[in-house]
A and B are shown apart, each in its own frame.
Chain A
Amino acid sequence: DAGITQSPRYKITETGRQVTLMCHQTWSHSYMFWYRQDLGHGLRLIYYSAAADITDKGEVPDGYVVSRSKTENFPLTLESATRSQTSVYFCASSFLGGLADNEQFFGPGTRLTVL
């Protein structure tokens, strides 16, 4: 299907385990983003990428690692999960160039619970 997809949609893990959340988009958008959404905080940017092999930190990067070897994929890894990383994670993407840079399209989200 065209668009932006995330997997898994739901994940339960234990403290200390490594977890990888996947994001895939079929639009060939250059920019991709990872956000987390928590009650009382809204959406906060974790990491973003302007192109393959180019990534940068957002507002809350600690405890997370990203990579982008292909334009269409942007996985997010929690190296050693903590309870504070229990959240809903959203991936987003946007075009390159002009005003459309800022029109971000979101995936359906991954609901992560760390026990």
Chain B
Amino acid sequence: QKEVEQDPGPLSVPEGAIVSLNCTYSNSAFQYFMWYRQYSRKGPELLMYTYSSGNKEDGRFTAQVDKSSKYISLFIRDSQPSDSATYLCAMSGGGADGLTFGKGTHLIIQP
């Protein structure tokens, strides 16, 4: 079993819809949780960053972490065609040992 599971999609929704993206993980040592957005043929860019459990909101984006269930979510409100990209969850126990990524979910927002 991979340490981080993420549905690869594609997930296709109409413009304006609320999008829910999720990851589950198995390593209890993970404390830092991130969502990266990656456009085609580009490097991943950090979208949201959360430490431990709880919610974090930034504009149209909300990240949720439930450590008891080992489950993290990213919600996108009022989705736009420009949100079409691959969304990667990533997590770490801390320090210099790099991030463990999910495989990414390919999101398509239909105009």
Chain B residue nearest to A34 (CB atoms) is B98
Q: Does A22 contact B (CB under 8 A)?
A: no
Q: Which of A40, A44, A50, A99 contacts B96 (CB 8 A)?
A: A50
Q: Is A45 a contact partner of B98 (Cβ separation < 8 A)?
A: yes
B94 with A102: CB separation less than 8 A: yes
| B19 at the binding interface (Cβ < 8 Å) | no
Contacts of A106 in B (CB 8 A): 36, 43-45
Contact with B along A51-80 (1 / 0, CB 8 A): 000001010000000000000000000000
In-complex Cβ contact of B97 among A42, A48, A90 (8 A): A48
Q: Which residues of B contact A104 (CB under 8 A)?
A: 46, 99
Nearest B residue (CB) for A38: B103
Cα distance A80–B45 in the bound complex, in angstroms: 31
B104 surroundings in chain A (CB, below 8 A): 42
Output the least CB separation between A101 and chain B (Å). 6
Pairwise interchain contact B46-A103, C-beta atoms closer than 8 A: yes
Establish whether residues B96 and A43, one from each chain, have CB atoms under 8 Å apart when the complex forms. Answer: no
Q: A42-B88, A42-B102 are in contact. Are A48 and B96 (CB under 8 A)?
A: yes
Bound complex: CA A35 to CA B103 (Å): 13
Question: Within 8 Å CB of B45, what residues of A?
Answer: 106
Q: In the docked arrangement, what's the CA distance between A103 and B48, Å?
A: 10
B103 touches which of A42, A45, A107 (Cβ 8 Å):
A42
- Distance in angstroms from B37 CB to nearest chain A CB is 11
Which residue from B34, B88, B96 sits with its C-beta under 8 Å from A31?
B96
Binary interface encoding of chain B residues 42-62 relative to chain A, with 1 for a CB under 8 A from any of its CBs, else 0: 111110010100000000000
When distances are taken between beta carbons in the complex, the residues of chain B under 8 Å from A107 are: 43
Within 8 A of A (CB), among B10-58: 32, 34, 36, 41-46, 49, 51
Complex interface: chain B residues within 8 A of A31 (CB): 96
Q: A90-B43, A102-B34 are in contact. Are A41 and B103 (CB under 8 A)?
A: yes
- Is the pair A99, B46 in contact by a Cβ cutoff of 8 Å? no
Whole-angstrom distance between the Cβ of A20 and the nearest chain B Cβ:
19
A interface, CB within 8 angstroms of B:
31, 33, 35, 40-45, 48-50, 56, 58, 90, 99, 101-109
